[in-house]
Amino acid sequence: MKKELTRQQYLDLYYFMRLNRAVEDMMVKLFRQNKIVGGLYSSLGQEAVSVGTAYALEKKDWLAPMIRNIGALLVKGVPPRDIFMQHMAKYDSPTKGKDGTSHFGDLQNLHIVSPISMLGDLIPVMAGVAIAGRYLGQKIVAMTWIGDGGSSTGVFHEGLNFAAVQKAPFVLILENNQWAYSTPVKRQVPLENLADRAKAYGISSYTVDGNDVVAVYRAAKEAVDRARNGAGPILIEVKTFRRLGHAQHDPAEYVPKEMRAYWEARDPIALYEKFLSNEKLLDEKSKKETEEKIESLLSAERDFAENSPLPPAEFAAEGVYCTGDDCHQVAPKWERPIAEVMPPQSSVTAVWTVPGFGSGKSSGGGSAPIHFGDTQKRDEKSAPPTDEKPKDSEVPEAVAETIEAADAKPAKTAAKVALKPVAKTPAKVPVKTPVNARAKNKPKKSTKPAMVSSKSQARKARR
């Protein structure tokens, strides 16, 4: 850990990590009291990841948390009571009791996009948020998280590739907590560093100790600043450990005891307390004051959540579908002149250049010259204009003039000239012919007079 933040920033990181753990400890108690109706997912041992990354964002920036990112919600300003009520499906919760887990957001004030259960789907969504912010001139950065298992989904690659091509101001946090439910990371990814996935998309990446909150913050802050200044998306792999099972129902007996013991000795809060103590930023008195502050806060927040009513039965059919402005209003917030992104200012010439493949034009401008391998590249300047006919050097000049004169006459008015008249023949009488004799007979020419145009006669004359 390096000392380069202000005293208050160091203490903020400590406070939010302690608050993150205390909120989850209280929810475990509520879960065991059967007061939490949905699933409960722990981030024990991963607090430094959510807190350190979210703390690097500005107020105007956007984030989309996953199930183990309660710390990010707290940093963004979500009160603990909303988290409690959401999991208890209370009427005063952000979703009015219609969801029993972490699926809620705040688009208007805190700029939080609700989690999506399908792992990886938040990546293209947040890439789109980042691009939209740039389009509106807001100069924002969007951030979301994904686990080591989720990085093997197809939408992870599709979304990251899309963000890379569009140079979106987007930061993706890849939480490598060693386990995808019960599958160890080495059994599902043949890589030592998952940050290497970024190479496939030509974007920058970092690998950082996810149990060192200051290191996490520093990497995230640098990535956020770079993304904001036009460097495109950045991938950060944080190496950490999921100390509990996938959820409360999972005892995680598949985790080797030695592995669990190693990571428990590297508890991020204990490590940070030691750092703060060595740097004379935290003593026993201030530590106790922080604990009492959090305990008092959560006691009041829990009481509020428990006293909140359950949603009335008649509310079940409401809010299922968005009905427009009476449901919620989301309008673009322009921070640049709209004319900048409208024609003619936003117009571009329909010409593209691909190194090694020449330059291409729009469909009305002719075919694109192509340079491939050792093939000589076509010189556009020496190419004849498209409105001139190329002359064939092998055709005599006199013949060429005759061709042009013939082509100049309209086809419909071409005079028809009859060849030598042929006498009319009486109607044929069918005659039986032996089979062997038919084979010897040759097909007869038509007796009808042939009519040809003067153009045809001119062509015959040339031959």
> Is a pLDDT exceeding 90 seen at residue 423?
no
Q: How far apart are CA 298 and CA 242, in angstroms?
A: 24
If 0-12 CB within 10 Å is exposed, 13-18 middle and 19+ buried, where does residue 418 land?
Answer: exposed
Q: How far apart are CA 27 and CA 44, in angstroms?
A: 12
| Predicted local distance difference test score (pLDDT) of residue 392 | 47
Name the band, by pLDDT with cuts 50, 70 and 90, for residue 29: very high
Buried b (16+ CB within 10 A) or exposed e, 101-134: bbbbbbeeeebbbbbbeebbbbbbbbbbbbbebb
Digit-coded pLDDT (tens) for 194-213: 999 999 999 999 999 999 99
| Predicted local distance difference test score (pLDDT) of residue 404 | 60
> Is a pLDDT exceeding 60 seen at residue 75?
yes
Digit-coded pLDDT (tens) for 115-151: 999 999 999 999 999 999 999 999 999 999 999 999 9
Digit-coded pLDDT (tens) for 158-188: 999 999 999 999 999 999 999 999 999 989 8
Q: How far apart are CA 305 and CA 222, in angstroms?
A: 38
pTM: 0.75
Name the band, by pLDDT with cuts 50, 70 and 90, for residue 415: very low
> Is a pLDDT exceeding 50 seen at residue 380?
no
Q: If phi over 0 gives left and psi between -120 and 50 gives alpha, with beta otherwise, what is residue 317? A: alpha
> Is a pLDDT exceeding 60 seen at residue 246?
yes
Q: What is the pLDDT averaged over residues 426-455?
A: 51
| Predicted local distance difference test score (pLDDT) of residue 409 | 55
> Is a pLDDT exceeding 60 seen at residue 394?
no
Name the band, by pLDDT with cuts 50, 70 and 90, for residue 327: confident
| Predicted local distance difference test score (pLDDT) of residue 418 | 46
| Predicted local distance difference test score (pLDDT) of residue 226 | 98
Which is more confident, 289 or 449? 289
> Is a pLDDT exceeding 90 seen at residue 320?
no
SS (H, E, C) 299-315: HHHHHHHHHCCCCCHHH
| Predicted local distance difference test score (pLDDT) of residue 257 | 93
Q: How far apart are CA 30 and CA 360, in angstroms?
A: 64
| Predicted local distance difference test score (pLDDT) of residue 353 | 65
Q: What is the pLDDT averaged over residues 49-74?
A: 97
Name the band, by pLDDT with cuts 50, 70 and 90, for residue 413: very low
| Predicted local distance difference test score (pLDDT) of residue 462 | 59
| Predicted local distance difference test score (pLDDT) of residue 381 | 47
What are the beta bridge partners of residue 183?
Answer: 180
Most confident of 125-134, 174-183, 322-331, 340-349: 125-134
Q: Smallest Cα–Cα separation from 128: which of 116, 142, 147, 115?
A: 142
Name the band, by pLDDT with cuts 50, 70 and 90, for residue 416: very low
| Predicted local distance difference test score (pLDDT) of residue 368 | 54
Q: How far apart are CA 57 and CA 376, in angstroms?
A: 52
> Is a pLDDT exceeding 60 seen at residue 321?
yes
| Predicted local distance difference test score (pLDDT) of residue 38 | 83
Q: What is the rounded average pLDDT for all residues in the chain?
A: 83
7-32 and 268-278 helices, crossing angle to 10°: 150
Name the band, by pLDDT with cuts 50, 70 and 90, for residue 361: low
Digit-coded pLDDT (tens) for 83-121: 999 999 999 999 999 988 889 999 999 999 999 999 999
